[in-house]
Amino acid sequence: MPALLPRYVHSPDARRPASYFRILFKNHTGLSPLEYLNRVRILRALELLQTTREPIAEIAEEVGIHDPNDFARIFKKLIGYPPSYFKSI
């Protein structure tokens, strides 16, 4: 997974604060950079849950969410079911 966003986003003519990038990103996508990244992470996790036998905690780590409770909360918020639901089917 990509590293966290840098403090400054560089442009050819000026240094821009990260807040400038966040505003542009949200205006373009409708999501904050973190919301977008979490969606990418959770969609990848869903794929791994359905196609591998890896434990949920390992999948969470693999997609860049290091706290299993955070992973389960974010997953359920975006998918509507807990990650364990997809391990049981």
Q: Tens digits of per-residue pLDDT, 29-49?
A: 999 999 999 999 999 999 999
**CA-based nearest residue to 82, from 47, 46, 51:** 46
Task: Examine residue 80 and state whether it is found in any structural domain, yes or no.
Answer: yes
pLDDT at 1: 44
Confidence of residue 21 (pLDDT cuts 50, 70, 90): confident
* 45 in Cβ contact with 71 (< 8 Å): yes
Task: Examine residue 39 and state whether it is found in any structural domain, yes or no.
Answer: no
**CA-based nearest residue to 36, from 11, 9, 1, 69:** 1
Question: To the nearest whole percent, how much of the chain has pLDDT over 90?
Answer: 72
Task: Examine residue 87 and state whether it is found in any structural domain, yes or no.
Answer: yes
**58-69 average pLDDT score:** 97
Residue range(s) defining the domain that contains residue 76: 56-89
What's this model's pTM, rounded to 2 decimal places? 0.79
pLDDT at 4: 47
Task: Examine residue 49 and state whether it is found in any structural domain, yes or no.
Answer: no
Distance CA 7, CA 48 (A): 31
Domain count, the chain: 1
